[in-house]
Amino acid sequence: MKGLIQRVSEASVTVDGRKIASIGKGLLLLLGVERDDSPSEAKELCRKILSYRVFPDEQGRMNVNVQDAGGSILVVPQFTLAADTRSGTRPGFSLAATPGLADALYREFLLSACNQMGRERVQKGEFGADMKVALTNDGPVTFLLEVARKH
């Protein structure tokens, strides 16, 4: 499971011309689910992302996590993050989870995030939809986070 986080001053998701989610200061998370992922990886990645220190402290150092910074999180399912890009000039998707598994683990991640941050601070994209994602990357600050499989 992979999570690409971007520290944002604002971010939103639009589907069919309708804004379905938006946040101010916080993290935009693009979430990629791979075929061997499980609920334990979803929970662990959520814990890691919510505790990852990417917001500035009083000295301007990245030393504060999204929760302590008073930020929100916008979680967007991102199938293409699971692509195998190691060779060739076209991505392969043999490592990606099936839609059923990916949706289930996306929902598991959302539940874990809501339990840790509160439902009002967690926004979400729409699984399987053609989404338009808008953001103002603050920094820019972007990190790719992964967790080891526990099988």
Which active-site residues does the annotation give?
78-80
Q: What are the structure tokens assigned to 24, written together?
A: 């101010």
CA-CA distance, 71 to 55, in Å (whole number)? 9
* Closest C-alpha to 29, from 121, 149, 148, 115: 121
CA-CA distance, 143 to 54, in Å (whole number)? 9
Q: What are the structure tokens assigned to 2, written together?
A: 């992979």
CA-CA distance, 39 to 32, in Å (whole number)? 13
CA-CA distance, 46 to 49, in Å (whole number)? 5
